[in-house]
Structure 1
Amino acid sequence: MSQPYSRASAEAAAWLARLQGDARTPAREAAFQDWLRADPAHQSAFERATDIWADLPGAALLLDEPPVRAASTAPTPIAEARARWRLPLHQLALAASLLIAVGIGSFLWLSRPSIYSTAIGEQKVATLEDGSRIALNTDSSVEVRYDPAQRLVELEHGEAMFEVAHNTARPFIVRAGDKQVRAVGTSFVVRREDKEVTVILLQGKVVVTDIRPAVKRIAPTYLTPGERLRAQPEGAVRVDAQPAEIATAWRRGQAMFSDTPLIDAVAELNRYGGPRLVVDDPRLATLRVSGVFATNDTGEFARAVAALHGLRIEQTGQTMHIVR
């Protein structure tokens, strides 16, 4: 795979131009050697720059005369690369421009986002290039962009569990609405539904920050394993406990409820498709539900709730009403 365009690539292109012909002086040569020694990436970047220039289609047409090899009894890789082309001064700017254009083209190709999504009732696991994994729940979509400085994921909608490969120099960032979750090596769940964002930390450490304009931002929130953060755009952030077993039940095809209002349990089950559940009576909506239910069988859930509370099920087409 091509190397991403970086600051080292830009500097290499500039040095390639500086070292041509009469522009090469002892002082400039010494500065170049200092630049090479400053970072192992510099030598690789310079070799790539000379390779790119040598391989550019039609590059030879820019020359007024054939390339001249530098005289050396035992050329080093850098010396050999540097001697590959000697351009007249008026062509150096074009050479550097072409190098930068090729580098930027490679960067844009590498930074094109990867999009992963699921349909209603579907789940999917994606393994990213660094070994990190994203498990997508029902009706979810993420956009992934990797660059040399960070690993960026945008949760467009739905829910995803992230298992992040450790890399302190390249943080893993998940954005959902106006919230941003920053991690290094950890696992956590992020859910974006309507305008509410939920973050549940399973292992490691994360910090949740606000990416709205500064005047509206709230302070960063650091989570510890087993904590859940829930945030609404204009409301205060709430942090409470959420056991990992409940937070990841959907990975096992289950929904777990503990003293949950019936209306909330119904909304959760409806996310997974199948016959749609409806609770019309506001008095029934507040009934409490506890238990473990299969996410692919809303009918089983409705019948269990009806039996427990002495209710009935009225079905019309693909809609099941829970009534008295």
Structure 2
Amino acid sequence: MEQWIRQCRLTVQINKDQPQALDLSEFRIVFHVAQPTTEQPKYAEIYIYNMSHKTMNTLAGENSQNKDTQVILEVGYKSGPLETLFRGTSFQFRKGRDNQTDTWLCILAQCADTVKSAAVVNNSLPAGTSLNDMQQFILQQYSSYGIDIGETPQLAEQRYPRGRVFFGSLDRHANQFYKDNNTSCSVDDDTFNAIPLGKYSVIPMLSLNKENGMIGMPRLTSEGVQVTSLINPKFKRNGRIQIDLSNLQTESYDVQYGQQGVDQPFKNQNLATNAQGTFIIVSVEHYGDMRGDECYSTLICVGVDTVVPKSGLLISGVDDNGT
């Protein structure tokens, strides 16, 4: 794919109870899309510039009181189709300005916000229920909240000797079930996926080098390999990527008293990477100004069949400085 002449389409539902939506693609759009940790929902912060007050109020309400409307952000290049970068629901609108002439409407949105915060389950399954039956029950609950079902694993044929009771947060029960089965689950762009720990998605592997979008040089940190590229909606969590490591930069080991050697395996190129340069994407962060110069994706990845970090984005968020 030739990565030139960026394009995007932003569609925002007017009212959560009605299907009508506005296409805001002709405005200047600045966005930041990220997922801080594996246990928090993916979010988007989107600024739309210089709309009329009438259009702002149509989307946000007179007092910015509207929320729970669907937000879809698609990005691509002239040489190919637009692909979904973010799909979720709004939870806050803000109005403001940069200067005397440039006004903006900011949309804060999350994926599966309702499921994370309000979805509950109240049911029981009989003795003899298999792990796969349990998984199907959980998936049905997510589907009932409008969540699409993506990749899920085939679990063991083990059966529970006693009945199981589900009461309370659906998200909490699902996370505990998959954690007990060495699997990570998440909802990205309103699609539920569950991938066994250390495994990867079945989507085709991508490659990244200076010829197809890599910006700067990849950097090996204690959280994984961090690499930046021209914005690419094909980068997905748990997907595989082959990175050109010919200019890999490494960081210093921690020399604080009592910490010597703790982070060395994760910053050691021989242990944290492999000869093929194949990695699993554990975090994707997108930033774009569709009428500016900056438009890129930042990835943090862990090597296939290598030392896997036990901290950082696998369980908790880090910023650009790796802290």
Interval containing the TM-score (normalised by the shorter chain): under 0.3
Higher strand share: 2
Higher helix share: 1
The structure with the larger Rg is 1
Tell me the TM-score normalized by structure 2: 0.21
Question: Which of structures 1 and 2 has the larger relative contact order (alpha carbons within 8 angstroms, sep 6+)?
Answer: 2
Tell me the TM-score normalized by structure 1: 0.21
